[in-house]
Amino acid sequence: ETGVTQTPRHLVMGMTNKKSLKCEQHLGHNAMYWYKQSAKKPLELMFVYSLEERVENNSVPSRFSPECPNSSHLFLHLHTLQPEDSALYLCASSQLAGRGEQFFGPGTRLTVL
Amino acid sequence: GIQVEQSPPDLILQEGANSTLRCNFSDSVNNLQWFHQNPWGQLINLFYIPSGTKQNGRLSATTVATERYSLLYISSSQTTDSGVYFCAVCQTGANNLFFGTGTRLTVIP
């Protein structure tokens, strides 16, 4: 695998389900990000991790819970989501937080019923 | 936060035509990137260009950081160039990219 990978690519879940999104980067980077892209809204940052420490939490509801066990892996745990949380969730990485070129994974398209 | 404005919002071109996309930003930045989002949602890196000029095949980009704008040039457009082009900047001192609302390009044969 090369670059940034995300699984699953598509996810349909009910409002009472618990699921997790996974991101893995193979670039040797130290910063990882979660972004959300909703219909008719620009891409917006959710979380930033630098060297496995969370450095940014962009007022994201607690039903989204990130986890960064090491600098190569990033998870987004989902529970009790709402239909308006349906969106494309994109993971990215860069050498340092806010520094250097960011590379994005292919995204997880989430539908909440 | 920083404001990122892209123009035009929509652009329709005949195959073979040239185009210029513009990105204006409201504050000093230490990073600027151009992306192409394909129909499946993947963001493809086009340029990492906090300042200066770069070229890659039919695409080139120029960022004038002191005047807070960047331009993306597409020459001899092809139908595969269709999609949404995003400009994204990292404000000096910030940890993440702020995205513009994009330019939707449609190239017709």
Tokens of B90: 């990292």
Q: In whole angstroms, give the CA distance from residue A104 to residue B46.
A: 12
Partner B contacted by A101 (CB < 8 A): yes
pLDDT of residue A51: 86
**What letter represents residue A40's amino acid?**
K
Mean pLDDT of chain B: 96
Closest listed residue to residue A24, CA positions, set A68, A56, A61, A64 = A68
Contact B41 A109 (CB under 8 A): yes
- Residues 68-87 on B with a CB inside 8 Å of A are 86
Residue A109: its chain B contacts at CB < 8 A?
Answer: 41
Tokens of A61: 């509801």
Tokens of A13: 């879940």
How far is C-alpha B69 from the geometric centre of its chain's CA atoms?
10
Nearest-by-CA chain A residue for B94: A98
pLDDT tens figures, B45-92: 999 999 999 999 999 999 999 999 999 999 999 999 999 999 999 998
